[in-house]
Amino acid sequence: MCLAFTSSAQDPAFSLFNINQIYLNPAFAGSNGDLTVGLNSRAQWTRVPSRFQTNMAHVTGACPNWNMGFGLRVFDDTEGEGYMRNTNAAALVAVHLPGRFGNGLRALRHKKFIWSFGMQVAFGQRRLDWEDLVFSDQLDPYLGLYLNQSQVNPQNEVSNLVVDLGAGTRFRFNFGSRGSHVSLGLAMFHINQPVESFFGLETRLLPRTTAYAYTHFQTSRFTNDPHYLSIGWVADYQQVLRTNTFNINYDVMSNMLIGLSYRKKHVFMVDNDFDAFIVSFMYSIGDLTLGYSYDLTLPHLGVENTAGTHEFGVVYTFKDSYICRRGRRRPRALDCFSLGWGSTERSSNYWRQ
């Protein structure tokens, strides 16, 4: 309880950020041009008695006539043996500005790019089930745990309603002659540092900064069945939380991707602060994309103590479904909005945005 007055909450992190993009950056809202719905579920350290379960559902869509995207996500996180639950819902809006490079560098000459800006407004509360807590007056030094009622008076079961703001930007551009592209992004959450408390104390959520950089090398020339080798980095910084995830993905088939990652605290230090080694799979069946990842916990916790972390994800894309559309749009405008992907490529390339 003494530590609670000086500590601050930290946000959970997902491993399947390829198909959970709006949690990574609100500028992804509506970025693929189609209406999509998705669900992610993460069970962390399944052998540890405490329960760490994170679920998120989202829906995103685009208004191509205005180069805008919209999204809605619902987030539920259960933490620890006290069953602390954090539930919030967020509305997102993004604007996507397409363009072309000029006559500068040869590799970028007349190549398409898209610059996106997004923001989100979230509303949420935390809930604590006091009946699941054990207090010292319920313990006996010889007999162990008593089942008698504690004399501690239960406190508030829910925190105050939190209004939380976030914003982000992303920049993506093509390069070379094979259809390769680079994706860069930066986002910040809890910008307004909202007060979150059960006891009316001045406990603020500190900002979380997320950055990422990915290069997607197309290993075959422009075809209806492109393959990519993707190399990237995702970083999260929030108070004492600092994680860097390095990731390599490859399309073993046109509709199947395999990824290898490792997560550590410091980027450039050669040490043993590795957190986990991650294996991920993504598979598309028509408009449906399924994903799974397993975090192999490395020392000092070890997989023998944690049994690792499992994460599942599913995304369904409704082709050519838009939130708003006036009349018929020119095909060139749609191509510019989606960086020139053809209709056969856009579904299988969802996770490379």
What range defines the domain where residue 55 resides? 3-352
Residue 8 pLDDT: 47
Rg (CA), the chain: 22
Bridging pattern class, strands 68-79 and 228-238: unpaired
d(CA 213, CA 186) in angstroms, rounded, equals: 9
Chain centre to alpha carbon of residue 277 = 18
What per-residue confidence (pLDDT) applies to 120?
A: 97
3-state class (DSSP) for residue 220: coil
10-residue averages of pLDDT along the chain (353 residues): 43 84 93 90 81 90 90 89 84 94 76 93 89 78 72 77 95 84 94 86 87 90 75 90 90 89 76 80 92 85 78 92 63 43 39 60
Burial (Cβ within 10 Å: 0-12, 13-18, ≥19) of residue 297: buried
How many distinct structural domains can be found in the chain?
Answer: 1
| Residues 339, 349: Cα–Cα separation, whole Å | 12
CATH number (domain holding residue 288): 2.40.160.40
**Four-residue CA torsion sign, 339, 341, 347, 352:** negative
Where would I find the beta strands (DSSP E) of 176-240?
180-189, 208-218, 228-238
Distance CA 252, CA 229 (A): 10
At 208 the pLDDT is 93
DSSP 48-117: SSS-EEEEEEEEEEEEGGGTEEEEEEEEEEEETTTTEEEEEEEEEEEEEEEEE--SSSGGGTT-EEEEEE
Cα–Cα nearest to 183, from 214, 227, 209: 214
Q: What's the pLDDT at 1? A: 35
Separation between Cα atoms, residue 252 and residue 230, nearest integer Å: 12
Give how far Cα 295 sits from Cα of 43, 202, 298, 306, 339, Å: 10, 35, 9, 10, 33
What pLDDT is stored for residue 239 in this prediction? 80
Q: In the structure encoding, which two tokens stand for residue 136, read together? A: 């010292």
Q: Is 332 left (phi over 0), alpha (psi -120 to 50) or beta?
A: alpha
Would residue 320 be called left, alpha or beta, if left means φ above 0 and alpha means ψ between -120 and 50 degrees? left
pLDDT at 346: 40
- What does DSSP assign to residue 296? E
In the numeric block, which tokens belong to residue 244?
A: 């860097």
